[in-house]
Structure 1
């Protein structure tokens, strides 16, 4: 593991850097130590010279002409300096070098000072005698000897510093060449080799390989480059085959998408389930190249009946219609979640034998689904023993899902259309009941009165009754005409404003009452269903005004903002709420308007008081305008 780490270029560079930094730090530290010692020696020399100076000053101050304090100060300073020669402070640069010969010289100088020179100075101060020359020379000689030893020590360190500096210069030059050599060997040469091979590959020589010859990072880069070059060479050599393979795959996907688009487009445009199944079979046979195809749908009794087929004989269709037991292969396949493959040659039922007789060998059954609901199956038949690939399987399953959705949607639309017809018939019956039926009941009563008047030969009653019958017939005619015009509105595809103006003008012609129409707002347009129901509500409101309100002024206002509001206001006799509730079962006009408003998510509000007119307002909130 350690050898592998050392082979790493980064580890070698780190080790080399650490060694060089350690060496430089060591040399600098040793140089500082030599400089420190040389500085200490110089300071010690200065201190020895200062001792000699203070000794001479003390000798001078022994003269009684000088103040005793001056002599005492010199003696004190000399004592301090002599004592300082013995003190060793590692953090102070002003210490005497600590060697045996210097230590002996210090001891000798100290001994001469304490035993001879200092007592001689005190005696000279007290007696006025002159100093002994032998003592003077002995003390100064000891100090000079100490000074010479320190000077030798300092000179030796200065020479060591010179040698060391010379060595640093030599090592710096040598290390520069070593670093350049290692840089060239470890970095520059591998980079150059890699660059040469890259140039060859760029020039088209995909067989070029790099051989760095090391196990470091550049070696691994070289191995990776070689693998990449080999892969590139392999891709280039097999490019044509791969391009053909990818092209075929893309073409297959495009074909599948085209088929899927064609199938969905056809299913969305088919007008009936029969046309849907027939077109589905034709396209499946075209897409798969099958020899026959059939669509089975579950009927109300739960039987899978063939509703469309192509390429199958009448005999097979007859046998298949008889095969109703749930143990039949097609029923078992219908109950399974996945498509089923049928080996017809191994079939034991009459339907399978008939297919083999007609030359078929294999068939496949696929589900027709809408979500989780199975509506039936479709089968494709082949006269050869063919296997369908997985992509084609998924495509056929998708076709079955689209057919199931289309069939379900068609059935829902058909039920919705039937429901709409039933609902409109209900509204028509309600309208007939609310208008014509009541008028006919009135006419029946008048006919009975006419019979009584004729039997009693009451001419005045006869004339009055005939007049009432004529008025009733005229009212029935107007009611029938209004109903016919109202029902015709759904057929005409007029825009909302034009349709509303048409309804209003017809009301004016029938009632002789002026109707004012106002439009305001620039909100979104109503849907076709909303337009139709709002138009019918306004028609019903105008019809009620014509029949019951006895109004002289009518105002229709349309406000199309975020909310849609349509109102019909008159100045007629108004509505007695209590009376209206009592007659609600016989007069269903208000109920019809409420039901139409609920169909589009709107709210119907009727504001009326007897003698103060009536306002019918239908309000469609913003959140319900997009629901239809």
Structure 2
């Protein structure tokens, strides 16, 4: 084992010695190469020969002095030789100084001047290149570096100028988009908006005229706004075919298109738009969510405007903004119309469920009064007259409330008390036994919901009074803590063979209105009736926080 270890140690020593030898050899080669390079640099600089000459001259002076001391008889000869050597040394020193000045100091001075010029921003400064030597190569390298710096600086300036111009164009585009958005907000109506928009676009591109057309349902293009066109041209261009000229093509393809002149437009229209036909026409589609609503046209005297990518993108972007504004205006008009229809329906429902019911009750009381008068029952007639008077007062009050507030009188104590009030009135007017089972745990519902529930209860009682011939009525009003609500009204009258929810307007319009009110509550109205078995009306709904109904749990 020890022999193996000794063998490994000896091999390791041999390896280390080889590595050391290799390192020494590498350093030696590198040292010789460095000295060769320095030698070549010294020789090429022109200083080597004078320095060697001075060294030789100094050596010769020393030898001549030593020889003169050893041979006194030849002293004059040695003195003359020393004078000659000294003169030669002076000449060599002069040559050395001259070459130091021109080969070393002057290039350094040029380098210093160059660096000063570069510091003050003169990137065109260059160093004079010597005819030979290492300084010639250095000067060429420095001059090449200066040239690269100048080119880089020029390129950076050009890029900065381009970016500045691009930012300026972006700012201008943003200003234009802001003007368009502002015109959308301040315009009185769609016509005013479109005229403002065309004026803005005229100013942006210095257009001679501008038009805007919208697509109709019968594949026509209707001229809705124009700037810069004569009244005669506007009148003739009010409605044109979608398949005609560039405008229809832009709408069909959904892309920005242009043509160099308007000769084709004049040919299709049968009249001239302008005195000069050499006017470029640009057609930009008005789009919203992938649908093309129309097109706006710009008539410009300078061609090639759409060749600029920024202008092209701006026109397309503005077209989309205007498409959104036009669609919004259309939706607002539809919403307004829908709101008017809804208000009319609500008014109709309120009239039916309030004043109409009161008038129906008065008609019923008038019939009772006629029977009392015919039968000679004066006391009954007086009671009927008193009820008629109360009914007229209630009708008048309801009418005034509808006019002033567009809602029926509602008890401030809540839904349960309002239904109880209606129950008392029903009992007094009809004499029918009615039981109100109040299990209402809800403190308060939104007034809009309470009104819908009250109206359904009132309409149900009104139908019982007019049609059911019932002897007893039960009303159940229930609400639990989970927000589930139930209104159930049932009677023991003659019933109905088939609920008339979907019949045309007539005597059963109240059932349709009840169903609509249930839908407004987000609830469900169920009518159960058979001939001779009475009728049950069940309304179930949830408060806004709940979303599911469960009739079985409620009942």
> With structure 1 as the length reference, what TM-score do the two structures score?
0.51
1:430-461 deviations in Å (ceiling 9; x for gaps): 23223332332232233344445555655334
1:511-536 deviations in Å (ceiling 9; x for gaps): 998x99958xxxxxxxxxxxxx9431
Return the offset for 1:346: 5.6
Q: Is the 8 A contact 1:296 1:376 kept in 2?
A: yes
1:357 match: 275
1:465-524 deviations in Å (ceiling 9; x for gaps): 3223223223333443554566369xxxxxxxxxxxx973698998998x99958xxxxx
Return the offset for 1:288: 1.4
- The one of 494, 504, 527 equivalent to 2:412 is 504
Q: In 1, distance between residues paired with 2:291 and 2:384?
A: 66
Q: Is the 8 A contact 1:368 1:376 kept in 2?
A: yes
- The one of 252, 263, 277 equivalent to 2:169 is 252
1:38 match: none
Q: In 1, distance between residues paired with 2:158 and 2:454?
A: 79
Q: In 2, distance between residues paired with 1:185 and 1:367?
A: 79
1:331 aligns with 2:248: yes
Question: Residues 507 and 185 of structure 1: is their aligned pair in 2 closer, same or farther, counting only changes over 3 Å?
Answer: farther
1:416 aligns with 2:328: no
Q: What SS is found at the alignment partner of 2:544?
A: strand
Q: In 2, distance between residues paired with 1:385 and 1:615?
A: 70
> With structure 2 as the length reference, what TM-score do the two structures score?
0.56
Aligned residues: 399
Q: In 1, distance between residues paired with 2:16 and 2:163?
A: 74
Question: Residues 250 and 594 of structure 1: is their aligned pair in 2 closer, same or farther, counting only changes over 3 Å?
Answer: same
Q: In 1, distance between residues paired with 2:15 and 2:150?
A: 61
Bigger drift between 427-436 and 586-595 goes to 586-595
Q: Is the 8 A contact 2:208 2:228 kept in 1?
A: yes
The 5 Å alignment of 1:146-225 reads 175-180=26-31
1:487 aligns with 2:411: no
Q: In 1, distance between residues paired with 2:547 and 2:273?
A: 61
The gaps in structure 1 that reach 5 residues or longer are: 1-24, 33-163, 187-195, 210-221, 490-501, 520-532, 560-564, 607-613, 624-628
Return the offset for 1:428: 2.8
Bigger drift between 536-545 and 574-583 goes to 574-583
2:447 match: 535
Q: Is the 8 A contact 1:297 1:377 kept in 2?
A: yes
1:302-340 deviations in Å (ceiling 9; x for gaps): 211111111100121122236447344433443233222
- The one of 418, 429, 437 equivalent to 2:348 is 429
Q: In 2, distance between residues paired with 1:255 and 1:441?
A: 70
Q: In 2, distance between residues paired with 1:183 and 1:486?
A: 108
Q: Which has the larger radius of gyration?
A: 1
Q: What SS is found at the alignment partner of 1:575?
A: strand
2:518 match: 594
Q: Is the 8 A contact 2:205 2:300 kept in 1?
A: no
Q: In 2, distance between residues paired with 1:303 and 1:181?
A: 94
Q: What SS is found at the alignment partner of 2:212?
A: strand
Q: What SS is found at the alignment partner of 2:217?
A: coil
Q: In 1, distance between residues paired with 2:460 and 2:248?
A: 65
2:305 match: 387
Q: In 2, distance between residues paired with 1:377 and 1:328?
A: 12
1:286 aligns with 2:198: no
Q: In 2, distance between residues paired with 1:229 and 1:622?
A: 79
The gaps in structure 2 that reach 5 residues or longer are: 1-9, 38-110, 128-139, 422-439, 462-472, 502-507, 527-538, 549-555
**What is the alpha-carbon root mean square deviation over aligned residues?**
5.3
Q: Is the 8 A contact 2:221 2:240 kept in 1?
A: no
Q: Is the 8 A contact 2:254 2:292 kept in 1?
A: no
Q: In 1, distance between residues paired with 2:297 and 2:488?
A: 67
1:83-111 deviations in Å (ceiling 9; x for gaps): xxxxxxxxxxxxxxxxxxxxxxxxxxxxx
2:132 match: none
1:320 match: 237
Q: In 1, distance between residues paired with 2:194 and 2:185?
A: 12
Q: In 2, distance between residues paired with 1:579 and 1:408?
A: 56
Return the offset for 1:240: 4.3
1:344 aligns with 2:262: yes
1:495 match: none
The 5 Å alignment of 1:13-28 reads none
Q: What SS is found at the alignment partner of 2:282?
A: strand
Q: Is the 8 A contact 1:273 1:410 kept in 2?
A: yes
Q: What SS is found at the alignment partner of 2:297?
A: strand
1:273 match: 190
